[in-house]
Structure 1
Amino acid sequence: MEQMLNEGLWFLIPFYFFNFDLNDMDMSEDKIEEMKETYKLLWSRLDEIVDGGKMTEFEKCAIKAMCDQVAEALSLTHSNVKKGVMEIMGGQVLDYEAKRIAKKAAEQSEISAIINMISFGVSEDKILSKYSKDTYDKALN
């Protein structure tokens, strides 16, 4: 997976899930947890790629939709795998995505507020009493 991510071969990501042995996984909770961790790691890495400007949020969502379809189709005849896939597709990953989007929006809002405060002549000390130094520095750039 790392090679696909590092080389920008994102269109291959949905096919990565063909590497899992579904028969073994269906009989092993540990293997299901391993698959779920792989899925979480993948979305974490894709978030980093989006944050780095190498991929758009739209592209990431398209990859996620394709991965979800592949994972769901592959797990149709494996009830334990399907349960694990549904947990990760419909639950935790979406929670993290929503939290990430909300956090980014809040940060942008704070940066805009700081820029406005600076333009109105508010002192650095007064701004730093409400906002972090890191956010203040981002507003200056």
Structure 2
Amino acid sequence: MGYTSTPYDDVGHTLLYDCSQLILPVINEMFGEHYDGTEKIVFQPNELYVQQQNGRQRKRITDSSFCVIKGAVTKKYHYEIQSTEDNTMLLRMFEYDAQIALSEGKIVDNVLEVSFPHSALLYLRHSENVPDTMLVRIKTPGTMAEYDIPVLKVQKYGIDEIFDKKLYYLIPFYIFTHEGRFKVYEKDESQLQMLLAEYRHICDKLNEMMENGEMDAYTKQSILDMGKKVVRNLARDSDSVRKGVERIMGGKILDYPAKKILNKGKAEGRVEGRAEGRAEGRAEGWDSASLVMIKNLMAAMNLDIDAAMVALKIPDDKRSQYRVALMNK
């Protein structure tokens, strides 16, 4: 990804879809939930059509709309990423929330029932004027309803707090914490080295987590790839900052970053799996194409069997069969 009109939305959206479990600690932080990572995340359509007063519809693209399923409980969530303060954001949040609610509205016995999502804002930059919570108040004939929209301010989180709270989803945006000092870093080598030391610490922590089995290699590489894309856009006019951080996080974007490696493995797996035939796999409880995908990802990213299966989202009940099949190959 080069320079785009919505680089930070794109990074947040990509990381959400590719490494969806990373969002759960962020939801815990914003809404006081206690998700532990075993929950199921189901994504909702991110294109909404808002009815205008002239009768026409206007398409809106949300950053994220999804459900978290924990046992018998399902909760809807919606959040937007903001890089600048915007007086119209609260209005747009209500538009999004109302359309999300209407999309699953039910009419029973002449009663329309709609359920609004739990909504939040992630501010990458903020001033003192941005509150910790915003409020939507809906006045109807004879009554009134209101709901809070919590605001997560990325610049308030130090890197140690991010790791302590497992807010790894925020790591690509961490460079915003230093944005106000870019000019200092460009002029003062000692200050620049302090910034780069902090990014070495980030990479060391991610590597340590991968080695300890707390994070798979695909997720780690995705965080680094997304981090480089944020830095490339935010520090485009600060060469020393941009080049220094990119070098520490992996230098140039790899020919096959995490997602490309994954997609390449899938494509080759489908082709090779068809060539090998699926009869043997069906008999043993595994699929030849998936087996090849696992082997390709293990080789390309130096993963063990379990890490490759996690990255490919192989169902838990199938992993032992694939493990046996790979050991026998």
The CA deviation at 1:63 is: 0.3
Structure 2 spans left out of the alignment, 5+ residues: 1-158, 255-301, 305-329
User: Cα distance 1:87–1:60, how it changes in 2: closer, same or farther (>3 A)?
Assistant: closer
* Structure with more relative contact order (C-alpha pairs < 8 Å, separation 6 or more): 1
1:17-55 Cα distance to aligned partner (Å, 9 max, x none): 111121211111112211211111111111111122221
| Alignment pair present for 1:17 and 2:171 | no
User: Cα distance 1:57–1:86, how it changes in 2: closer, same or farther (>3 A)?
Assistant: closer
TM-score norm. by structure 2 comes to 0.27
Structure 1 spans left out of the alignment, 5+ residues: 95-104, 109-141
Q: State the aligned residue count.
A: 94
Paired residue for 1:61, among 215, 221, 233? 221
User: Cα distance 1:59–1:87, how it changes in 2: closer, same or farther (>3 A)?
Assistant: closer
Paired residue for 1:75, among 235, 238, 252? 235
* Letter matched to residue 10 of structure 1: Y
Asked if structure 2 preserves the Cα contact closer than 8 Å seen for 1:72 and 1:85, the reply is no
Report the counterpart of residue 189 of structure 2 in structure 1: 29
Paired residue for 1:88, among 238, 241, 248? 248
User: Cα distance 1:83–1:46, how it changes in 2: closer, same or farther (>3 A)?
Assistant: closer
TM-score norm. by structure 1 comes to 0.58
The higher radius of gyration belongs to: 2
User: Cα distance 1:37–1:59, how it changes in 2: closer, same or farther (>3 A)?
Assistant: same
* Letter matched to residue 26 of structure 1: E
Q: What secondary structure, in the 3-state scheme, does the structure 2 residue paired with 1:8 have? A: coil
User: Cα distance 1:87–1:2, how it changes in 2: closer, same or farther (>3 A)?
Assistant: same
1:81-128 Cα distance to aligned partner (Å, 9 max, x none): 23323443455xx9xxxxxxxxxx7xx9xxxxxxxxxxxxxxxxxxxx
Post-superposition, which runs of at least 4 consecutive aligned residues in structure 1 deviate over 6 A? none
User: Cα distance 1:33–1:7, how it changes in 2: closer, same or farther (>3 A)?
Assistant: same
RMSD: 2.2
* Letter matched to residue 218 of structure 2: F
Report the counterpart of residue 212 of structure 2 in structure 1: 52
Q: Percent identity?
A: 29
